[in-house]
Chain A
Amino acid sequence: MKNKKARAALVFALLIFMFFAAVVANVNTGSVKLSPAQIARIIFLREDSADSVIIWKLRLPRLLTASVLGGALALSGLLLQTFFRNPVAGPFVLGISSGAKMLLAVVTIVLSGHMARVPISVTVIASFVGSMLSMMFVLLISGRVRSMSMLLVVGIMISYICSAVTDFLINFAKEADIVNLTHWSLGSFSSSTWNDVIVSAAIVIPTSVFVFMMSKPIAAYALGEGYALTMGVNVKLFRALLILTSSILSAVVTAFAGPISFVGVAVPHITRMMLGTSEPKTLIPASFLCGSVFCMICDLFARTALSPADLSVGTVTSAVGAPIVIWLMAKRRSGEEG
């Protein structure tokens, strides 16, 4: 027992250190080179210069969005894994992000004729409704199929259907919209504004706290629905809350950054391995932190790899996350039942 606590403390210390390291690295890196002293002056003394615009308007909001949304993605994946009792479940893998993207495309195309810029509230709501829609589809089908790999197939099919609809709609879109939509369809933190940071944090942080409050029933649910019931968990309500919170979290991500692939699967798994436990009380905050760090590092990589061109962060997360999913599937192959 003591060992576990010490290990958890160590993991948290490491994650917090990496968080700050990633922040510093992100602020420090880019096509415009700035010395650490300059950066410190800009951030802490609010020194006004041409470079301060780069820091305040570009790099800071971008890295903060990455950290908030990265945490949200990790939690969303964790909740879906709890719900489906399936280690490869995640918002992207199950096609939930694609559903959000599809509805975003619909709304953008419909509204672009009437207003210059689609308000953030509308994007968030559209993305949430889209997430819930594809979630309903997944639920409908997952009632019939129980095996882990089938669930994955269902998710991929839903992704394809949503992408087909989205592509179809793009034919009717104006050129300006297409730029926006492609940006969404790849997933990126670039062009994040302070407004994005504030709105996403205002949704993600309270939702994450709420998820943390559900640690106890999440632990009980891991032992199966029957046992959760005998422990006094209101299973119907609990399942509904899992769906709702995971959809809110992944919807926010899609609304602000587009579908970012595989973070939801990879991060909770990496965190579990680091902690050596699945105890939600520890796993939930650690996954959030790890998601933040993961996305910031991936974004840093996306920005610098082909500098000055921007790679989409979704490309980087796929490169890291997809192998983890394959590894998980291979590992589970032997132990899978039904």
Chain B
Amino acid sequence: MKDEYFFTLDGLSVGYGKKAVVSDINVRLPRGTVLSLVGPNGAGKSTILNTITRRLSALAGVVRVDGGDIKKMRGRDVAQRLAAVTTERIRPELTTVYEVAASGRYPYTNAFGTLTSDDRKAVGDALSRVGVDDIADRDFLSLSDGQRQRVMLARAICQEPDVIVLDEPTSYLDIKHKIELLEILRSMARSGVTVVMSMHEIDLASKVSDMLMLIKDGRVAGLGAPCEVADAESVRELYGIGRGSYDDVFGSVELPRADGEPLLFVVGGGGRGIPFYRRAQSLSVPCAAGIISENDVDIIPARALCVEVVTAPAFEVFTEREAEAARAVIDKCRAVADCGAVYGVVNRENARLLDYARERGKRIITSPDETAEACGI
């Protein structure tokens, strides 16, 4: 291969008319990489993708596929290399799923669009790959949005492109089909297809992509591997999240916590406390948690959702010092949640905390459903 980078954007500026929406975009991708564009609504992700698919002309710079400037290539040549799944809502009348998917063979068929047996095989394979082969004869307009989205992906797959461009491919899809779609994209990438897409779900984007491009305020705010660019701080800044939280380790999102003096103390750990923190949040009850190891799965949601968290160092036995801190918080609370954690050598202090709460006459709850009543709401 003459160039190790297969798909490049060089000094690309995109926009409408003369007004640039995003300028100075530079990215070089080898074959088989997945690039996701992330950023707030209206940042210009779709504008960039529409420029790559030649829907819009670039204000400056070039898009290169396999070393060639796509603006100078013949339409058919570009179509054999680059396929797209757009957000355009199509309404073809009296057209079957099979016919829509088969339109992906357009750049390969003769002047009348006659499908050869090779074409039919490619269409059939693509349909079964996205799991819509059983509805191939249905009218396209009778499908749900999610099904349509998958048919459009099948269409792009049977176009046998080297680069596939997708504008928010996961919208309209339920979680099962989101995962399936992203796995299909990954497997296409493994077979050498370069994937360029925009995504709203930064968590999923971080998990599926080799590279993320953060777009904000008309420029590329970050470009690199997800672990480099999508740390919690960058994500908060990218989307301008004031409250609420984003965790970059699991890509999990929590709503803004209820602030104020804690009403509920959750004796958490082992993931058991999480439903309590979330219920407290949804009821707008300020809550606290403890004692939680710094390597416990409870720690991320607890820090996001609790006003106070008493923590212990990772892998260390909980000590009297932490227990004292926890008792001080319990004294302030109306109720204490016993979330049914398992008590062993490390967290024996937690069992004692529950005894302490009982002695002090605190209301003990064992299910998140009791939260409202116990906290007097």
Contacts and interface: CB of A to CB of B under 8 A. Distances in A.
A233 B75 contact: yes
A180 B227 CA distance: 80
Interface stretch (A190-198, A211-219, A287-295): A211-219
A87 B93 CA distance: 9
- Select the residue from B54, B78, B83, B106 with max chain A CB neighbours within 10 A: B106
Interface of A: 1, 85, 87, 213, 215-216, 219-220, 222-227, 229-234, 272, 275-279, 281, 335, 337
A276 B95 CA distance: 9
Interface of B: 50, 53-55, 74-80, 82-84, 86, 88-96, 98-100, 103-104, 106-107, 109, 111-113, 159
5 contacts: A216-B111, A220-B106, A226-B84, A231-B159, A232-B80
A272 B94 contact: yes
A337 to B, nearest CB: 7
Given A226-B86, A231-B103, 13 more contacts: A85-B91, A213-B111, A223-B100, A224-B88, A224-B90, A225-B88, A227-B88, A229-B54, A230-B84, A231-B107, A232-B79, A276-B94, A281-B113
Nearest to B54: A229
Contact of A226 (B53, B93, B100): B53
Contacts of A337: 89
A155 to B, nearest CB: 20
B78 A219 contact: no
B106 A232 contact: yes
A232 B89 contact: no
A232 B88 CA distance: 17
B112 A215 contact: yes
Contacts of A278: 92-95
A47 to B, nearest CB: 45
- Top 5 A-B pairs ranked by shortest CB distance? A232-B79, A232-B75, A231-B106, A216-B113, A232-B76
Contacts of A87: 93
A219 B111 CA distance: 12
A216 to B, nearest CB: 4
Given A213-B111, A215-B112, A229-B53, A223 B92 contact: yes
A279 B93 CA distance: 9
A254 to B, nearest CB: 27
Contacts of B94: 272, 275-278
- Specify which of A87, A223, A230, A279 lies most central, judged by the most chain B CB atoms within 10 Å of its CB: A230
B350 to A, nearest CB: 56
B330 to A, nearest CB: 57
B125 to A, nearest CB: 17
Given A215-B112, A232-B75, A227 B93 contact: no
